[in-house]
Each structure stands twice: as C-alpha cells, then as structure tokens.
Amino acid sequence: MTVRREALVLVGLVLAVDVLFIAVYFGAGIERASDGMKLGFTVVWTVINLAVVVLGFCLLIVLPLLGLGGFAACLPFMNGMQ
C-alpha cells in the first residue's frame, strides 16, 4: 500500500471516529446534559481521536522506516487493497 493510500486510510479512520461520536452525542442527548457530562464526553472523544492519530502515524511512518510495513502489515484484511 502506498503512503498516500495509508494517509487516506488514517484520515478515514479519524472521520469514522468523529461520525460515531457525533451520532452518540446527539443520539444520547448529550447536548442537553450537564456541563460536566459534556466536558467528559469531549475528553473521551479527544483521547480516542488522539489514539487513532498516534497509532496511525506509527503505522504510517515508523514501521515502514523499520522495514516492517505499514497499515497492511498490521491489518491483514487490508492486504487485498494493494
């Protein structure tokens, strides 16, 4: 898989997390919740996004530099996307 495709996969994963959290935010009625609940939800959302980005950059940059591959090496279902 090329670096460009892996970068697009990373962007897609971040967007998927955002869509999921936005759906939960409105679906669970968090917009009407207390300020503390909103803050907690935002912190969890941010931490999950950060984890996806850090893991994605690790897979995108560090593993290929070590000769271990990128996303495709870690996610076997993606081997067919080459």
Span 23-32, pLDDT tens digits: 999 999 999 9
Residue 59: band (very low, low, confident or very high) from pLDDT cuts 50, 70, 90:
confident
Q: Which residue has the tokens 């936005």?
A: 22
User: Model confidence over 33-52: pLDDT tens digits?
Assistant: 999 999 999 999 999 999 99
Please state the pTM of the whole predicted model.
0.70
DSSP 49-64: HHHHHHHHHIIIIIHH
Q: What is residue 56's predicted lDDT score, i.e. its pLDDT?
A: 82
* C-alpha to C-alpha distances, 70 to 15, 23, 30, 35, 57, nearest whole angstrom: 20, 30, 37, 40, 9
